[in-house]
Amino acid sequence: MKLDYKAIGLKCGIEIHQMLDTRAKLFCGCPTRLRRDEGDYTFLRWLRPTRSEVGEMDPAAYFEFKKGVHFLYEGYHDNTCLVEMDEEPPHDMNREALELALLFSLLVGGHPLDEIYTMRKIVIDGSNTTGFQRTALVSLGGSIDIGGKKVGIQTVCLEEDAARRVGEERAERLVRYRLDRMGIPLIEVATAPDIETPEEARAAAHRIGLLLRSLGRVKRGLGSIRQDLNVSIRGGAKIEIKGVQYLDLIPRIVELEALRQLRLLEIRDELARRGVKEEDLEFKPVDVTDVFSGTKSKIARRALARGGVALALRLHGFSGLLGREIQPGRRLGTELADRARYWAGVGGLFHSDELPKYGITEGEVEAVKERLRCGEGDAFILVFDERERALKALRAAWERAVEALKGVPEETRGANPDGTTRFLRPRPGSARMYPETDIRPIRVTGEWLEELRGKLPEKPERVWRRLVEEYGLSKELAKEVFNSPYLYLFEELVEELKVPPSLAAATLTNTLKSLSRDGVPVENLSEERIKDALRLVVRGEIAKEALPDLLAAAAREPEKPVEEIAREAGLRAMSVEELDSIIRSTIEENRKAVEERGERAFGLLMGRVMSKVRGRIDGKIVAQELRRILRETISSSSAENSS
């Protein structure tokens, strides 16, 4: 469905989080090196929420606490310390990181504060051992230009990155985190809600990303830059969508969130037309375990065999609405199930709009309706699990159903790979920030700012001119490189590795897009792995024709060195001597065609030689050698016939 974004009043703001490549973390001297190996030691923690200085408790923090989860942290001897363990006070703020944040602020015309104060932001999902994230407001104001439109910058902050979640043991209510990432400096850039279309959202994120990367000392690759989106439509609510890693996914996420809010408003209006009021939605769960004593549903049988129960709840006036699609593949019933999963830890729930199904028969559905005294317009939800967990699940789903009467609830959602979103937690409140008393404020003097103005990096537009004028790319290819996440990688490939500009550009645009369309997980290709592959081409160790196959294999085996992959896959370049041997044997195999056609047999021979050597040597070399040897063969054959 094509939406009229102006008519529905779409508004979007973006928060960009860019990881910095500084020598040390933000509040200690540990290096900012990301790890893949398991930690050297572990420790266990429970986190609890606290009230703010005015006695309020943040709802998002309380929500996480109620889940009753504890956390196991993995640390490293060489790049985590007592600061990450919260066993030692934080050190003074990293000046190198603050300088980068100030440089970015000046790039966008922001107004740096006279003094930088560090704050604590309550976060008790386990991603910080302290129960809070340290963040500092660096500047206010500024703007970026996207296609002649100004998008305001509200704030630029400097904050510490969180620990990296690496696993979960649901039964034990335990989540595992690694501390290598925790404390790495991040620049957070928040735009004003000036974005009015999905395409503008991508353009704004791309522009901010280019400006951040122009600073030079930033980490690159998957996960090093993350986008959060704030999306609303007229009559809807401000929804924060976390963890968008792919630039090209942003328009789809904005589009589908606008659609979700529009559909939820339609459901609200339909409930109003049906006369459904909040007092009609009573929380009166009914035990219907006996209805399913002989059920054929595998899900129900497994739960009941473990001592679980079947609990059902009537939703007055919701018939036909739980099954209404609000995003592709997601329905209002999915929203209720999300709440049940995250609040109670159940696998999901059933609702009457999707039944009979999953082994549940029509007779069982009718029996549940009768037990609940459902009227013609009523629906029900059904959970199979241990009693206490099932009750929690039904209550969470019921609360979400009550919210449907009002339209769109404010909440934080997570991005799915297809552009849809799922419930994560309630929106944080105003009680989550308070001053960090362990860190001294930093004065930003006029002299310091003047010094930084002399260090400002070149604007991305100058790189665009180089793409065409110095590197000789066509305007179409230059535009593709400029609009990709690989603009600065392109220059490194050409300047440092001496990769031909056309090959570097085609690889970073056409080749990666083609592999992605073929289902190759190109997100596993870090910039370093792309460099390693092209380094082999430059050194003549593989042919450029083998590059797509090598990149595909490197994406599927992200832990294995690229050189080892090339060797095992037989992609190493062959010598001209090996090629000549194959050409001579191919000519011999097709001697009759050569005798009949002479040099006109070139096309036939080229196809057969290439089927044997494709990806291991440049096609131009194959053609050149084949012509030479074919002429020699014909000439030799003519001489023999003459004699």
Residue 302 lies in a domain: yes
Using 70 as the pLDDT threshold, list the residues of the chain that sit under it: 1, 49-67, 170-171, 222, 428-432, 573-574, 614-616, 637-643
Distances (CA, A) of 464 to 459, 477, 487: 9, 11, 9
Over residues 300-356, the pLDDT tens digits come to 999 999 999 999 999 999 999 999 999 999 999 999 999 999 888 898 999 999 999
pLDDT reported for residue 19: 95
Residue 422 maps to a domain: no
How many domains would you assign to the chain? 4
446 within a domain of the structure (yes/no) = no
What pLDDT sits at residue 428? 67
> How many angstroms separate the CA atoms of 620 and 641, rounded?
32
Residue 452 maps to a domain: no
Return the pLDDT at 630: 80
pLDDT of residue 350: 97
- The answer to whether residue 426 is domain-embedded is no
Q: Is 358 left (phi over 0), alpha (psi -120 to 50) or beta?
A: left
pLDDT tens-digit map of 97-147: 999 999 999 999 999 999 999 999 888 788 999 888 999 999 999 999 998
Per-residue pLDDT, 318: 98
Q: Is residue 300 part of a domain?
A: yes
* Domain co-membership, 480 together with 606: no
Q: Do 135 and 86 belong to one domain? A: yes
| DSSP symbols for 542-594 | B-GGGHHHHHHHHHH-TTS-HHHHHHHTT-BPPPHHHHHHHHHHHHHHTHHHH
> Which of 568, 601, 622 is the C-terminal boundary of a domain?
568
| pLDDT, position 342 | 84
Domain boundary among 418, 435, 452: 435
* Residues 505 and 356 grouped into a single domain: no
pTM: 0.81
Long-range contacts of 536-543 (CB under 8 A, 24+ apart): 536/562, 536/563, 536/566, 537/499, 537/503, 538/497, 538/498, 538/499, 540/573, 541/566, 541/572, 541/573, 542/566, 542/571, 542/572, 542/573, 542/615, 542/616, 543/573, 543/615, 543/616, 543/617, 543/618
Would you call 187 helix, strand, or coil by DSSP? Answer: strand
What local confidence, expressed as pLDDT, does residue 55 receive? 64
Same domain, 365 and 476: no
Same domain, 191 and 218: yes
386 and 283 together in one domain: yes
Domain that holds residue 531: 460-568
Calpha distance 56→432 (Å, rounded): 9
In a domain, 189, yes or no: yes
Token reading at 299: 């899900």
Residues 301 and 239 in one domain: no
Same domain, 493 and 592: no
Please indicate, yes or no, whether residues 310 and 255 belong to a single structural domain of this protein: no
- In this structure, how many other beta carbons lie within 10 angstroms of the beta carbon of residue 102? 24
550 and 595 share one domain: no
78 is a domain residue: yes
pLDDT value of position 567: 82
Distance separating alpha carbons of residues 384 and 293, to the nearest angstrom: 12
Q: Cα(125)–Cα(462) distance, rounded to whole angstroms?
A: 43
Please list, in sequence order, all residues whose beta carbon lies within 8 angstroms of the beta carbon of residue 71, skipping any fewer than 6 positions away.
44, 45, 46, 47, 126, 174, 175, 176, 177
Q: Which residues of 244-260 are buried (b: 16+ CB within 10 A; e: fewer)?
A: beebebbbbbbbbbbbb
Boundary (domain end) residue, out of 519, 547, 568: 568
Distance CA 23, CA 235 (A): 47
Q: Do 238 and 303 have their domain in common?
A: no
392 plus 286 within the same structural domain: yes
pLDDT tens-digit profile of 576-591?
A: 787 788 888 888 888 8
How far, in Å, are 128, 170, 233, 467, 495 from residue 503 at the CA level?
Answer: 43, 48, 44, 13, 13
